[in-house]
């Protein structure tokens, strides 16, 4: 059996500044060794440890979709030791990727269902992976209606803008893009917080409709009651959690909430499951 702590060596293939304030960059990696890409077979919603020898490892959601081949992509917010170092790296630099880790969004179970995807801020990465997967010609017909509600602080903070523009124009996905506020007169999309936009734009709940939600704690806190009001039952609200991590494989004991380990039993849970798990902040 292989050492689950050992990262696959990768080369940085491209780096794109993802937001106007440069606090987020999207990194595309290619695997150095033949066969590693196949071993890294992943599903939307999973994450990986980006491993920079000399600096450390960080858990980051996989932003590329399993339908995209030849590379794996992550969008990283600059905040502390490792993320700052990563932001200063160059195309061609060598580092490691370890994973895929954690469970995934239960897309197999959602076949034939309508899906509303709700995201905010830079927690849109694994949702991007999900959307790309769902829109793939081989997959789209297996799912019902798809709605996406995505909010950022201002137009400059919107991730994956080029792709959003393309998805906007398609008739097999309903995009509801919003910003908290803007003074840009040419802004043609929504203005307002994600919970408010969810209230007016999200489809009404029914037996066949599921919500997938990922975002900062405040957004989640205020969107949950809106989904309640729209009639979404808690087993149909799917969320992704975050906690500080090290091993990512359920061994180092760091990331638990109650008896669940976020890195291995999660990061994806239904709201129904979360009701039986402590909220660690209290």
Partner 1 sequence: MKVINIDKEKWASGVESLTSTYRLFGPVKEDDSHNFKELKKGELPDLAYGNSKLSPKSAVFPPSEAMFTYSLDEKNENHHILNDVKKDYSPRAVLGIRPCDAKAVSLVRMNFDTKEYRDPYWMDAFEATTFVGLACDNPCSTCFCTSTGCGPFSEEGLDVLLVENGNAYIAKALTAKGEKLMDAAGFKTAGDDSAIAAKKAAAEAKITASIETDKLSEKVIMDLYDAPIWDDISFSCINCCTCTYACPTCWCFDIQDENKGLSGVRMRNWDSCMTPLFTMHGSGHNPRSQKKQRVRQRFMHKLKYFLDKYQKGIMCVGCGRCVQQCPVNIDIRTVSKKMNDYVAAS
Ligand X SMILES: Cc1cc2nc3c(=O)[nH]c(=O)nc-3n(C[C@H](O)[C@H](O)[C@H](O)COP(=O)(O)OP(=O)(O)OC[C@H]3O[C@@H](n4cnc5c(N)ncnc54)[C@H](O)[C@@H]3O)c2cc1C
* Shortest reach from residue 247's CB to ligand FES, in Å: 3
Partner whose footprint covers residue 140, from partner 1, ligand FES, ligand X, none (CB < 5 to 8 Å by kind): none
Residues 6+ apart with CB under 8 A from 170: 135
For residue 122, the partner it binds in partner 1, ligand FES, ligand X, none, with Cβ less than 5 to 8 A by kind, is ligand X
Residues present in the chain in total? 282
- Residue 100 binds ligand X, judged by CB under 6 A: no
Strand 72-77 vs strand 24-31: parallel, antiparallel, or unpaired? antiparallel
Q: Is 61:245 a contact under the CB 8 Å cutoff?
A: no
Decide whether 226 or 247 has the Cβ nearer to ligand FES: 247
Give Cα separations from 85 to 80, 89, 99, 139, 203 (angstroms).
8, 7, 21, 37, 42
> Binding ligand X by CB under 6 A: which of 47, 133, 167, 193?
47
Residue 260 neighbours by CB under 8 Å, 6+ apart: 266, 269, 277
Least gap, CB of 6 to ligand FES (angstroms):
16
DSSP character string of 168-184 = HH-SSSEEEEEES----
Single out the residue of 81, 91, 94, 252 in contact with ligand X (rule: CB under 6 A).
81
User: Which residues contact ligand FES by CB under 6 A?
Assistant: 245-248, 250-255, 261, 263
Binding site for ligand X (CB under 6 A): 47, 56-61, 75-77, 79-83, 122, 125, 242-246, 267
């Amino acid at each position: 059996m292989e050492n689950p702590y050992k990262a696959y060596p990768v080369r940085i293939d491209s780096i794109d500044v993802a937001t106007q304030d440069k606090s987020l960059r999207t990194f595309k990696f290619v695997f150095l060794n033949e066969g590693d890409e196949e071993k890294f077979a992943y599903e939307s919603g999973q994450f990986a440890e980006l491993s920079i020898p000399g600096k450390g490892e960080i858990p980051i959601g996989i932003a590329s979709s399993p339908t995209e081949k030849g590379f794996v992509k992550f969008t990283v917010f600059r905040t502390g030791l490792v993320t700052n170092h990563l932001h200063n790296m160059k195309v061609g630099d060598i580092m490691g990727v370890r994973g895929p880790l954690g469970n995934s969004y239960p897309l197999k179970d959602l076949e034939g269902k309508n899906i509303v995807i709700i995201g905010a801020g830079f927690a849109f990465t694994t949702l991007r992976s999900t959307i790309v997967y769902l829109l793939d010609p081989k997959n789209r017909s297996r799912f019902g209606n798809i709605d996406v509600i995505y909010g950022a602080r201002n137009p400059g903070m919107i991730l994956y803008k080029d792709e959003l523009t393309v998805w906007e124009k398609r008739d097999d996905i309903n995009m509801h893009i919003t910003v908290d506020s803007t003074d840009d007169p040419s802004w043609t999309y929504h203005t307002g917080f994600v919970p408010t936009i969810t209230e007016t734009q999200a489809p009404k709940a029914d037996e066949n409709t599921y919500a997938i939600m990922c975002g900062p704690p405040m957004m989640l806190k205020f969107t949950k009651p809106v989904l309640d009001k729209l009639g979404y039952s808690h087993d149909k609200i799917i969320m992704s959690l975050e906690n500080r991590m090290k091993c990512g494989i359920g061994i180092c004991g760091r990331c638990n909430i109650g008896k669940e380990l976020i890195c291995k039993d999660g990061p994806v849970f239904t709201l129904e499951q979360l009701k039986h798990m402590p909220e660690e902040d209290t």
